[in-house]
Amino acid sequence: MVELRLGYQSAKNITALSLNNKVKHTMTLLNAAEFPISQDAIFVFKADVCQQAKHKLDALGHSNTSRRKWIVMSPDIFGKAYMAKEDIPYVPLHNYKAVLANFCRLIDSHLWDEVERNFETWGSKMYSRISYISQERELLEDMLRNVWNKIASEKDKIDADTWDYISLIKEDYPHILG
């Protein structure tokens, strides 16, 4: 991607020659022969000049010798169009709060077979494709730890045989539940 910033106060002085020279100069600076660069030449104008500049560049399009598509943006639009990955909030694949609420309902109802079955289902996701998405894996691990903590808090309400059965869950996921 080539970002070209111009300090024009109006679109009157924009010429095809100046735009082509700006693209050429930027390509030289970026060493285009060694690195792949987008075929778009993005010109960022102040918001009050942006619309005039769009019309002017459209009119000058026939004189574009840079062989790059000229795109005009304001700083605000450019900032939204080219955000860094870190600036975009992660949206989980699953609603872990709802899953945790379902687990809590099952635990409070002492439906241990269902708890174990659901834990197996969600635990197996640790070994699926989503485990390669670090944010998703962290959310899943936190949810499973919270489920285990909820189960452990119910230990005094569970008979010994059931507790032995449920404790197998912890043995299956030592890397998560410690």
Q: What is the pLDDT of residues 60-85, one digit of tens each?
A: 888 888 888 888 998 888 888 877 77
**Is the whole-model pTM more than 0.75?**
no
Q: How many CB atoms lie within 10 A of CB 96?
A: 17
**Segment 109-124, tens digit of pLDDT:** 999 889 989 988 998 8
| 31 dihedral zone (left: phi>0; alpha: psi -120 to 50; beta) | left
pLDDT at residue 3, rounded to an integer: 60
- Confidence class for position 5, pLDDT limits 50, 70, 90: low
Percent over 90 (pLDDT), the chain:
22
Is 178 in a helix, a strand, or coil? coil
